[in-house]
């Protein structure tokens, strides 16, 4: 909601600077951003009463005082004779109507109204609708303007089953379904109550006689309708949060006053229909309860002064204003007081909880330690899948049809993770996930599962590089100490996967419950420590690798060469490692195999760029006597 | 000339995998809070409306209960929990104060764009005892944020709104570039929630707080795009030692 600073300070006794105003708004919990004189407010959903100039001013009055600057139409108003029936008073306990006829609708707007449209209000429509929008900005009460000449027969408010196309005053058509609160005329829906009026009864530029409807709709009766029909309106936003049921006559008198400011009124009539009287809501005065909640030592007079400043009426009890739907208990009042004092001005009081023994070494931590120590990286996947199995849990309102079930296994996610990394030139992949899986039989069942997947080389050091990840590898890791393997290892065929890779894929999935305790007793969980690294964004460009074989005849320099190779670094060298170490006893030489992986953050590297870099990094090495690179 | 056998083999460095950075942060927060005295409790990710909303004073008219914010499952009978608070409700129903629980885990919201994911992680805590006050809450939040961001971090409390706490607050820290960053939500447990859990609100009061794990991870590691955490890219994961 946008508010003009100049408009807001008109409602305050003191005229704070923008900085002071902003500071106090934050203290009260009203977040906002400021651009020139416009405050773009983001109010919490419980504070519908603040969605207007007067609403914010009522809160700010505790700091800056309130000015009484609302001009109302003070003349007597004749009673309105209107054929109206409220068939659903629980949805609309109070509604008022104002009928005004003016001599001329083509008028020049006064500066305050003109300025509202220039700074906040957007496009103008017609005099009555424009005044309605302005009144909502000023007082927080939406009103709806019917062209009086069209409302000839009985006007009905009802909550009725709909299956009909409704044309809004903005020209859009929506298909109304289920039950909706509506106004109808001759059995035709002319307004979707609390959301938007219809085209057939809307005012136009030439309308001179208007019927202004001003209502309180029960928030629960209209909530969600605006989003359901994609009819986002200021009115719906306010009605859903609750308006002031006691303000209708004041609002319509203000409406009349703004009309009077612009045109000569020929006739004016008013009628209010009250189906249920608003019950005063009172809370006993008890400052000790407030101090007990906040941990403060506030005195009674201070307490009551703050509440009065916020518009509460104090007698034997605290009377909650009719617009404060959010105040019911002492905890609510404690929040009011904390806002006035300032949350940051409440002093901390230490708490000392009884220390508990740390619960380290649980099953998950032990599995994690085992897997991470053996080169496995953990992934976390979203549980949504298009695959529906008999026991799958179905999402009623999925994001899309590809995510309308919960997975019953971790397998597909882990295969996808594997292929994703293979496409990024990874040739040694070990991944695992530990997640809860949900299935249904008669009841919903929860199982904590471990899934792990491997493919490619066992590692990149010269011992593991030539070996492939296989069943034997997993057996050694998981089943070595058990005569009957407790983990079932399955090969996943690549035939149905979108890949040209040939390395075999092996997969294990098990419920943690199914792993015998004896497996865990042999494991230990490492004490976890965290290193808050400074993350470097990863490149999305492809990497390229180059392997080099070094023949070293002068054995004294072997470790010097390895040190040099290990310490090569460059912006485009992502990684390098010794993948082969071979002693040729016959020839008395040592051969080193070294792999360099090139990748840029800026582009896909060309062969010539890589070759240039290769020459640069290798030239100091081949200058050694007794070191050569065959083929170079 | 050296003999081949006299040459030491080059060292073989053990290649370690990585725990997922989100789980690293989650575990770190759990450790931080258990060291203060909280006990970890667990609960299901598929919840009933009763535990996810009603017991927490989230009324039928609350926007969170609409189909556009919450995933419903199995014919609207269940929801994918939208926060870990129902775990604490279950904990409170099974114990008597004083209690100090934390729950951590996956939560779901019907959202998917550059800054929101349909699944993310929360760590939430609740402490109920006699005479727990807002001033105690401030002390606890200061302890947590000093541990996370250092003793010199500037902390700001702002009034906010959550149906299950009253008063409610959002807490910001001042970042290096001079901007306030929202870090967590907290408040005094709404007496209605205590009553729902058969705890006498005239005798006991409570404080509660909740942190978004992804948000803390992004701040602590300097990851700008939340989606990176869930691409399962080994180059990404390998950085989080």
Q: Does B75 touch chain A (CB under 8 A)?
A: yes
- Cβ-in-10-Å burial (0-12, 13-18, 19+) of B148 comes to buried
The answer to whether the CB atoms of B138 and A348 lie below 8 A apart is yes
Are the Cβ atoms of B10 and A426 closer than 8 angstroms? no
Place of tokens 């009253």: B166
CB pair distance less than 8 Å for B159 and A343: yes
Residue B36 contacts A where some CB pair is shorter than 8 Å: yes
Nearest chain B Cα distance for residue A460, angstroms: 8
Q: Tokens 């009673």 sit at which residue? A: A79
Interface residue B119 vs chain A (CB under 8 A): yes
Contact A387/A405 with Cβ under 8 angstroms? Answer: yes
What share of chain A has pLDDT > 90, as a percent?
83
How far is A27 from chain B, CA to nearest CA, in Å? 6
Our CA angle for A112, A117, A123, nearest 5°, is: 155
A483 has pLDDT over 50: yes
Residue B103 has pLDDT above 80, yes or no: yes
Q: Is B154 on the interface with A (CB under 8 A)?
A: no
In chain B, the residue whose alpha carbon lies closest to the alpha carbon of A391 is B74
Nearest CA in chain B to A415: B232
Rounded Cα–Cα distance for residues A187 and A208 (Å): 25
Judge whether residue A361 has pLDDT over 60: no
| B81/B87 Cα distance (integer angstroms) | 10
Alpha-carbon distance A574 to A564, whole Å? 16
Closest CA–CA distance from residue A268 to any residue of chain B (Å): 37
pLDDT of residue B1: 47
State pTM to two decimals: 0.90
Output the pLDDT for position A526: 82
Task: State residue A356's pLDDT score.
Answer: 64
Q: Over 60: is that where the pLDDT of A398 sits?
A: yes
Q: Which residue, among A212, A257, A240, A192, has the nearest Cα to A95 in the 3D structure? A: A212
Assigned token pair, B216: 């803390």
Q: Strand order in A317-320's β-sheet? A: A281-284, A317-320, A313-314
Q: How far apart are CA A418 and CA A503, in angstroms?
A: 12
B202 contact A CB<8A: no
Find the CB nearest A346 among B37, B75, B135: B135
Q: What average pLDDT does chain A have?
A: 93
3-state SS assignment for residue A599? coil
Query: Is the per-residue pLDDT at A187 higher than 80?
Result: yes
Q: Which of B9, B132, B139 sits opposite A350 (nearest CB)?
A: B139
Per-residue pLDDT of A501-526, as tens digits, reads: 999 999 999 999 999 988 998 888 88
* Measured CA angle at A290 (ends A285, A295), to 5 deg: 155
| Cβ atoms of A256 and A135 closer than 8 Å | no
Nearest to A245 by CA among A222, A211, A219, A283: A219
Dihedral of CA A622/A623/A624/A626: which sign? positive
Rounded Cα gap, residues A426 and A423, in angstroms: 7
In chain A, residues with a C-beta closer than 8 Å to the C-beta of B82 are none
Using alpha carbons only, give the angle A275, A280, A281 rounded to the nearest 5 degrees.
125
Q: CB A220 to CB B60 under 8 A?
A: yes
Look at A140-144, A288-292, B64-68, B154-158 and tell me which has the smallest mean pLDDT.
Answer: B64-68
Give the pLDDT of residue B76: 83
A581 CB neighbours in chain B (<8 A) are: 9-10
Q: Is B63 on the interface with A (CB under 8 A)?
A: yes
Rounded Cα gap, residues A451 and A367, in angstroms: 11
Rg over CA atoms, chain A: 37
Q: What angle do CA B166, B129, B153 make, to 5 degrees?
A: 65
Which bin fits A122, alpha (ψ -120 to 50), beta or left (φ > 0)?
left
Strand ranges inside chain B, DSSP E? 39-40, 46-48, 72-73, 78-80, 99-108, 119-129, 155-162, 165-174, 180-189, 205-212
Q: What is the greatest pairwise CA distance in chain B?
A: 89
Question: In this complex, do A351 and B4 lie within 8 Å of one another by their Cβ atoms?
Answer: no
Cross-strand partners of A321: none
Q: What is the mean pLDDT of residues A283-304?
A: 97
A210 DSSP β-pair partners: A100, A147
CB pair distance less than 8 Å for B45 and A436:
yes
Q: What's phi and psi for A45, nearest 5 deg?
A: -65, -15
Question: Would the pLDDT of B2 be above 70?
Answer: no
Residue-range domains of chain A with CATH: 2-64 (3.30.56.10), 84-274 (3.50.40.10), 281-344 (3.30.56.10), 363-521 (3.30.930.10), 544-628 (3.30.70.380)
pLDDT in tens, A408-439: 999 999 999 999 999 999 999 999 999 999 99
Instruction: Give the separation between CA A546 and CA A597, rounded to whole angstroms.
Output: 7
Residue A3, pLDDT > 60, answer yes
pLDDT band at A360 (very low <50, low <70, confident <90, very high): low
For residue range B186-218, list pLDDT tens digits in order.
999 999 999 999 999 999 999 999 999 999 999
Q: Residue B198: which residues within 8 A CB-CB, separation 6 or more?
A: B93
pLDDT tens-digit series, residues A310-348 = 999 999 999 999 999 999 999 999 999 999 999 999 999
Cβ–Cβ below 8 Å for A378 and B23: yes
Q: Is the pLDDT of residue B119 over 50?
A: yes
Mean of pLDDT over chain B: 93
Q: Which chain B residue's Cα is nearest to A531?
A: B241
Smallest Cβ distance to A353: which of B25, B36, B239?
Answer: B36
CB of A240 closer than 8 Å to CB of A117:
no
Tell me the shortest Cα–Cα distance from A333 to chain B, in angstroms: 9
Residues 6+ apart with CB under 8 A from A68: none
Confidence of residue A387 (pLDDT cuts 50, 70, 90): very high
Helix boundaries (H) for A311-410: 330-341, 363-373
Q: What is the DSSP string of A428-453?
A: EEEEEEEEEEEEESSSEEEEEEEEEE
Tell me the mean pLDDT in the region B113-136: 95
A560 token code pair: 């010097």
A459 chain-B contacts, CB cut-off 8 A: 15
B25 CB within 8 Å of a chain A CB: yes
The shortest C-alpha distance from B227 to chain A (Å) reads 11
Q: With contacts defined as CB-CB under 8 Å, which chain A residues touch B25?
A: 530
Q: What is the DSSP letter of B231?
A: S
What is the least distance, in Å, from the CA of A107 to any CA of chain B?
41
Where do the H-state alpha helices sit in A494-606? Answer: 517-521, 558-566
Closest-CA distance, A350 to chain B, in angstroms, reads: 5
Any CB–CB contact under 8 A between B150 and chain A? no
Q: What tokens were used for B45?
A: 């990710």
Pick from A49, A295, A328 the residue to mutate for testing the B interface (most B CBs within 10 Å). Answer: A295
Whose structure tokens read 């485009």?
A572
CB pairs A-B closer than 8 Å: 280
User: How close A228 comes to chain B (CA, Å)?
Assistant: 9
Interface test with B, best of A348, A399, A413 (most B CBs within 10 A): A348
Q: Identify the H or E element spanning A83.
A: none
Tell me which of A359, A378, A454 to substitute to probe the interface with B (most B C-beta atoms closer than 10 Å): A378
Nearest to A615 by CA among A582, A568, A581, A579: A568
pLDDT score, position A357: 59
Q: What residues of B are in contact with residue A220 (Cβ under 8 Å)?
A: 59-61
- Residue burial B158-174, b: 16+ Cβ < 10 Å; e: rest: bbbbbbbbbbbbbbbbe
Task: Tell me the average pLDDT across A232-238.
Answer: 94
pLDDT tens, position by position, A536-573: 999 989 999 999 999 999 888 888 888 888 888 899 99
- Interface with A, mutate which of B24, B68, B158 (most A CBs under 10 A): B158
Provide the 3-class DSSP secondary structure of residue A192: strand
Mutation for A interface: B57, B167, B172, most A CBs within 10 A: B167
The dihedral through the CA atoms of B12, B18, B24, B27 has a sign that is negative
What domains can you pick out in chain B, each with its CATH number?
18-151+191-234 (3.30.930.10)
Using a CB-CB distance cutoff of 8 angstroms, which residues of chain B are in contact with residue A593?
Answer: none
Is B230 close to A368, i.e. CB distance below 8 A? Answer: no
Say whether pLDDT at B67 is over 70.
no
Q: Is B71 on the interface with A (CB under 8 A)?
A: yes
pLDDT at residue number A559: 87
Mean pLDDT (whole number) for A277-281: 78
| B5: DSSP letter | G
Instruction: Indicate whether B148 pLDDT > 60.
Output: yes
On the question of pLDDT at A600 being above 80, the answer is yes
List beta partners, residue A628: A551
Peptide bond into A156 cis (omega under 30): no
Q: How far apart are CA A157 and CA A160, in angstroms?
A: 9
Q: B64 touching A, CB under 8 A?
A: no
Contact criterion met (CB below 8 Å) for A60 and A21:
yes
Give the Å distances, CA to CA, from A508 to A392, A477, A511: 21, 12, 10
């Amino acid at each position: 909601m946008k508010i003009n600073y100049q408009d807001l300070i008109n409602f305050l006794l003191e005229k704070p600077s923008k900085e002071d105003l902003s500071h106090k708004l934050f203290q009260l919990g009203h977040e906002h951003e400021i651009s020139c004189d416009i405050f773009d407010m983001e109010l919490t959903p419980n504070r519908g009463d603040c969605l207007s100039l007067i609403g914010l001013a009522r809160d700010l009055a505790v700091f800056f005082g309130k000015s009484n600057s609302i001009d109302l139409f003070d003349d007597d108003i004749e009673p309105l004779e209107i054929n109206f029936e409220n068939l659903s008073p629980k949805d609309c306990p109070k509604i008022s109507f104002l009928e005004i006829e003016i001599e001329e609708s083509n008028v020049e707007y006064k500066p305050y109204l003109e300025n509202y449209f220039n700074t906040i209000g957007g496009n103008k429509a017609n005099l009555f609708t424009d005044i309605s929008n302005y009144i909502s900005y000023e007082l927080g009460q939406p009103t709806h303007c019917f062209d009086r000449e069209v409302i000839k027969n009985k006007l009905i408010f009802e909550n009725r089953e709909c299956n009909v196309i409704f044309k809004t005053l903005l020209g859009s058509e929506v298909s109304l379904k289920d039950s909706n609160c509506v106004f109808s005329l001759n059995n035709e829906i002319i307004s979707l109550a609390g959301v938007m009026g219809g085209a057939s009864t809307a005012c136009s530029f030439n309308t001179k006689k208007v019927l202004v409807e001003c209502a309180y709709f029960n928030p629960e009766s209209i909530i969600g309708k605006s989003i359901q029909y994609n009819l986002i309106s200021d009115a719906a936003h306010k009605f859903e949060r609750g308006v002031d049921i006691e303000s209708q006559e004041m609002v319509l008198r203000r409406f009349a006053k703004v009309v009077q400011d612009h045109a000569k009124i020929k006739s004016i009539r008013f009628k209010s229909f009250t189906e249920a009287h608003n019950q005063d809501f009172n809370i006993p005065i008890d400052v000790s309860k407030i101090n007990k909640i906040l941990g403060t030592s506030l005195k009674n007079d201070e307490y009551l002064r703050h509440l009065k400043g916020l518009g509460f009426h104090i007698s034997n009890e605290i009377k909650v204003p009719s617009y404060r739907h959010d105040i019911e208990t002492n905890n609510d009042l404690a929040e009011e007081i904390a806002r006035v004092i300032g949350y940051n001005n409440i002093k901390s009081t230490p708490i000392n909880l009884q220390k508990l023994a740390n619960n380290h070494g649980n099953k998950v931590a032990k599995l994690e330690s085992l897997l991470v120590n053996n080169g496995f990286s953990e992934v976390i996947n979203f549980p949504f899948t298009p695959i529906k199995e008999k026991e799958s849990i179905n999402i009623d309102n999925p994001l899309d049809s590809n995510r309308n079930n919960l997975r019953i296994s971790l397998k597909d996610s882990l295969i996808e993770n594997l292929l994703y990394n293979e496409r990024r030139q990874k040739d040694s992949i070990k991944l695992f996930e530990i997640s809860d899986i949900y299935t249904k039989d008669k009841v919903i069942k929860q199982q904590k599962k471990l899934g792990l997947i491997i493919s490619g080389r066992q590692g990149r050091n010269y011992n593991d590089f030539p070996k492939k990840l296989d069943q034997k590898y997993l057996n050694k890791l998981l089943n070595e100490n058990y005569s009957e393997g407790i983990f079932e290892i399955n090969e996943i065929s690549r035939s149905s996967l979108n890949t040209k890779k040939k390395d075999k894929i092996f997969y294990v999935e098990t419920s943690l419950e199914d792993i015998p305790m004896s497996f865990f007793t042999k494991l230990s969980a490492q004490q976890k420590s965290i290193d808050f690294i400074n993350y470097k964004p990863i490149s999305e460009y492809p990497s390229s690798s180059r392997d080099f074989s070094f023949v070293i005849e002068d054995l004294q320099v072997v470790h010097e060469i390895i040190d040099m190779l290990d310490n090569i670094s460059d912006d485009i060298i992502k990684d390098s490692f010794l993948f082969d170490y071979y002693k040729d006893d016959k020839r008395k030489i040592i051969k080193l195999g070294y792999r360099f992986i090139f990748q840029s953050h800026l582009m896909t590297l060309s062969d010539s760029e890589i070759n240039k870099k290769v020459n640069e990094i290798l030239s100091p090495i081949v200058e050694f006597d007794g070191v050569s690179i065959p083929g170079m | 000339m050296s003999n081949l056998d006299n040459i030491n083999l080059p060292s073989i460095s053990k290649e370690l995998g990585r725990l997922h950075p989100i789980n690293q942060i989650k575990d770190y927060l759990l450790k931080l809070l258990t060291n203060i005295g909280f006990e970890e409790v667990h609960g299901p990710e598929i919840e009933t409306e009763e535990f996810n909303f009603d017991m927490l004073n989230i009324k039928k008219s609350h926007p969170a209960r609409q189909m556009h914010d919450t995933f419903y499952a199995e014919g609207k009978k269940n929801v994918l929990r939208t926060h870990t608070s129902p775990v604490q409700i279950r904990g409170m129903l099974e114990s008597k104060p004083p209690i100090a629980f934390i729950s951590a885990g996956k939560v779901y919201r019907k959202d998917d764009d550059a800054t929101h994911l349909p699944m993310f992680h929360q760590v939430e805590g609740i402490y109920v005892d006699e005479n727990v006050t807002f001033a105690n809450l401030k002390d606890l939040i200061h302890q947590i944020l000093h541990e996370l961001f250092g003793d010199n971090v500037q902390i700001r409390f702002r009034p906010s709104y959550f149906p299950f706490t009253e008063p409610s607050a959002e807490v910001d820290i001042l970042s290096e570039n001079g901007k306030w960053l929202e870090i967590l939500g907290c408040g005094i447990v709404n007496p209605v929630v205590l009553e729902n859990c058969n705890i006498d609100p005239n005798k006991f009061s409570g404080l509660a707080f909740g942190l978004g794990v992804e948000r803390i991870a992004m701040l602590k590691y300097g990851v700008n795009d939340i989606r990176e955490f869930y691409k399962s890219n080994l180059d990404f994961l390998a950085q989080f030692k």
